[in-house]
Amino acid sequence: MKKLNNRYKRGFIHNFSFYAGIFFLTCITALMYLLFSTSVICEDKYVHDLFRINNVEDGQFTTLKEMTDDDLSAIEEEYGVKLERQTYCSFEEDDYTVRVFGFTEKVNIPEVTKGSAPEEDDEICLSQSFAEANDIAVGGEIELGGRSYTVTGFAERPDYLYMIENQSDSFHRASEFGIAFVTDGEMESFGDRQFYYSITYGDNGQDDVRKYIYDEFHTLSYMSSDTNHRISTPKATIIQYSLITGGILPALLLLVIAIIAVVLGRKVRSEKKHIGTLSALGYRKSEISLHYVWYALIPGILGEAAGIILTYIFVDMAAGEFFFKLEKLPVKYTISPVNVAIVLVVPVAAYAVTSLLTAGRILKMNVTDMLSGRSTRGRESRLLVESGVNFRTKFRLRSLLNNYGRTIVVILGIVVSGLIMAMALMMDDSCKNYEKNVIDDIGSFNYEYILSYPMNDDEQEGEKLLSNTFEVTGSENSIMLTGVYGEGSMINLETTDGGTADLDGKYYISSMASAIFGVGKGDVLTVYDPCSLEEYDITVSGVINNRAQSMMISSAETVADLIGIDEGYYNIVMSEEELDIDSSVTAEVIEKKAMKEMIQNVISGMKALIWLMVIFGTVICAISVYLMVNMLIEENAVTISMLKVLGYHSREIDRITTNIYHILVPFGIVLALGGGWLITWMYFDFSTASFQAQIPVYLSAKGFVIFIAAIVLSYAVSLVLLSRKVKNINMSDSLKSARE
């Protein structure tokens, strides 16, 4: 066996590009899987530990009647909850806004992630992403409200891991908004302090305590952690990525491994005569099988080892990038031994089993059949036997049909490699398209002023609306009910069936809300007031074409009647131009331009990930296609050499043999596009609530061209690189091997 094993080195050198392809593909596959799974597992653990240990709130609320410390203690004792006042002060500077908190002790306890907590009144801790985006290091300085603070460290709150300024924001802007922590003494010195209450419920549930607080202190607003995007988005992101790590990624990787295994199996099949020779020489079946298994195992194990080593090198640098939406956390990325074992075992097991099975199948043959290289395949297709169609066409069709295993492998190779690229390009294009076209779904207004309380000032400029947020029974998401006065000139009332919403006494739902809650025209949506917990059944009269907001729309009179407020009141003002509304009555101002900027932010945040996927996809595509074409040429070597002997020119030979697979490229492309569309759609559909955006899947002409060009180029470059192989097929050697 030792002498026989000398073949390995020579075999690998002789088929260097083939085995190098297997090595790189296995390496990339292992790297992708380990990096992503490590990132998701470690982030998941860190975030959930932070939520548990630092006691993230279950809900937050404001009340008309202020609760004293005694009130809070009494409620805690009576209902087994933890309840704490959350005091903050917002500083709007020229380039950014900083929301400064004190150090809470029961709920949403801050976590110092770097440096130390402030001890003096002129010291401060900042959230890390904001600090880094503004080039502020620990030990540096920041000026807030005209006062300079020394940064003693970075700190995060568990309820601000998704750092958005307003709940209506779609995406975070690290350089423009962050949070900070000061000493209690410093907090006391701020004049313009605001507060709300945060609560975590115990085993007794939440209904009784919420009713009690509403009855005794008159709850003005209530937001559960499920509807608080700052808390729900990290959870949703982890779930999304877990879905990719647990389902889509392994499926893709298994497909890549399956393709490599099939190619390796076919390689072993081409060694039929050598296997016959070894059999004839008296080698045992087990010895022969083992010999061929190592041809698959060596590049497989080396590829896995390289993938694992690269993961260890790059994990700290790259793993956090997948969670670019969240605050930077000091996560310790530990590669799971189970995943290392999976990466070590699955690919080589697949390669080894395929090689063993193929060698085993060949070894079942008669030794003389092996030596003669006689085919074991079934009957040839009799397609077009008696027809007058040119032999070239018949040959092409029969090559595809008779070698259907090879045909399927070629299509699968293109599909798998194209799929990753298609997903990346579609995600990029879909976000850009959303920013450019879909945001305008919301209406023609450019400014939306959300007031702190309902007003009825007839002199107010702009379009007035009356709005109230409801929670939806059986859902973790809330919905905003907006009432429109009159015809509503600035809000989009176009329905998905092409009509215009008739708001009189009727309720319409936006297409985004329709997707989130799974309701459409004629369905009943049960909502409840988050303060009073009173339930309402609302029949949906139609769906309004709005993929940027989760809302229900009706007439202002209907909304006023529902929420028990006098007609003529409004709490939202919309306008095309900026209005001069007193900031003391404005809770939030939403600019359409800012919404677009947020989408741009997410695109730029995703850019690295998207292009990483495009590059990975292109590399996988190029290597897979190269392996396919290599396999095609090797398997057709005898036919190619025979055609050369018969006087065929290289181009004519290409047209008959290798070029027949051109027809599979469009099939692969269509399937890859379809698969990419489906996965991207699933991703965006699942993310609708957390993104606060219903992003339709879109692929631009440019993206389409990049996608097609990458696949076609990979295919064409592989053909060009391998055309030398076609030219180098030695006629006399091939004929000799056919004779041996």
Kindly state the smallest distance separating residue 387's Cβ from other proteins, in Å: 11
Kindly state the smallest distance separating residue 13's Cβ from other proteins, in Å: 19
The tokens for 424 are: 């990346």
> What SS3 class is residue 696?
coil
Kindly state the smallest distance separating residue 631's Cβ from other proteins, in Å: 17
Nearer Cβ to other proteins, position 2 or 382? 382
Nearer Cβ to other proteins, position 332 or 724? 724
Nearer Cβ to other proteins, position 387 or 584? 387
Nearer Cβ to other proteins, position 702 or 736? 736
Q: What's the rounded Cα separation, in Å, for the pair 184 and 108?
A: 16
Query: How far from the centroid of its chain's Cα atoms is residue 173's Cα?
Result: 19
The distance in angstroms from the start CA to the end CA of the chain is: 23
Nearer Cβ to other proteins, position 216 or 652? 652
Q: What's the rounded Cα separation, in Å, for the pair 551 and 483?
A: 10
Kindly state the smallest distance separating residue 275's Cβ from other proteins, in Å: 19
The burial class, CB within 10 Å (0-12 / 13-18 / 19+), for 523 is middle
Kindly state the smallest distance separating residue 374's Cβ from other proteins, in Å: 8
Kindly state the smallest distance separating residue 643's Cβ from other proteins, in Å: 7
212 in Cβ contact with 75 (< 8 Å): yes
- Residue 459 is which amino acid? E
Instruction: Report the run of H or E that residue 447 belongs to, with start and end.
Output: strand 447-455
The burial class, CB within 10 Å (0-12 / 13-18 / 19+), for 552 is buried
Nearer Cβ to other proteins, position 112 or 735? 735
591 in Cβ contact with 447 (< 8 Å): yes
470 in Cβ contact with 536 (< 8 Å): yes
Residues pairing with 507 in the sheet: 540
Interface residues with other proteins (CB under 8 A)?
375, 379-381, 385-386, 390-392, 394-395, 398-399, 402, 638-639, 642-649, 652, 731-732, 735-736, 738-739
Q: What's the rounded Cα separation, in Å, for the pair 730 and 736?
A: 10
Kindly state the smallest distance separating residue 664's Cβ from other proteins, in Å: 17
Kindly state the smallest distance separating residue 398's Cβ from other proteins, in Å: 4
Instruction: Report the run of H or E that residue 278 belongs to, with start and end.
Output: helix 272-280
Nearer Cβ to other proteins, position 391 or 453? 391
109 in Cβ contact with 223 (< 8 Å): no
Kindly state the smallest distance separating residue 740's Cβ from other proteins, in Å: 9
587 in Cβ contact with 451 (< 8 Å): yes
Kindly state the smallest distance separating residue 728's Cβ from other proteins, in Å: 12
Nearer Cβ to other proteins, position 2 or 10? 10
Nearer Cβ to other proteins, position 622 or 640? 640
Kindly state the smallest distance separating residue 652's Cβ from other proteins, in Å: 7
Nearer Cβ to other proteins, position 49 or 740? 740
Nearer Cβ to other proteins, position 147 or 394? 394
Q: What's the rounded Cα separation, in Å, for the pair 48 and 459?
A: 50
95 in Cβ contact with 177 (< 8 Å): no
Nearer Cβ to other proteins, position 207 or 740? 740
Q: What's the rounded Cα separation, in Å, for the pair 660 and 654?
A: 8
The tokens for 591 are: 């600019």
* 232-259: b (≥16 Cβ within 10 Å) or e: bbbbbbbebbeebbeebbbebbbbbbeb
Nearer Cβ to other proteins, position 143 or 733? 733
Nearer Cβ to other proteins, position 47 or 653? 653
- The per-residue DSSP string of 181-244 comes to E--HHHHHH-SS-EEEEEEE--TT-SHHHHHHHHHHH-EEEEEETTT-HHHHHHHHHHHHHHHI
Nearer Cβ to other proteins, position 272 or 644? 644
693 in Cβ contact with 616 (< 8 Å): no
Q: What's the rounded Cα separation, in Å, for the pair 586 and 544?
A: 27
308 in Cβ contact with 343 (< 8 Å): yes
Q: Among residues 494, 597, 510, 495, which one has the least CA distance to residue 548?
A: 510
Kindly state the smallest distance separating residue 395's Cβ from other proteins, in Å: 6
Kindly state the smallest distance separating residue 730's Cβ from other proteins, in Å: 9
135 in Cβ contact with 151 (< 8 Å): no
Q: Among residues 220, 171, 194, which one has the least CA distance to residue 468?
A: 220
Beta strands 551-555 and 507-510, pairing class: antiparallel
Kindly state the smallest distance separating residue 632's Cβ from other proteins, in Å: 14
Kindly state the smallest distance separating residue 11's Cβ from other proteins, in Å: 22
Beta strands 177-181 and 97-101, pairing class: parallel
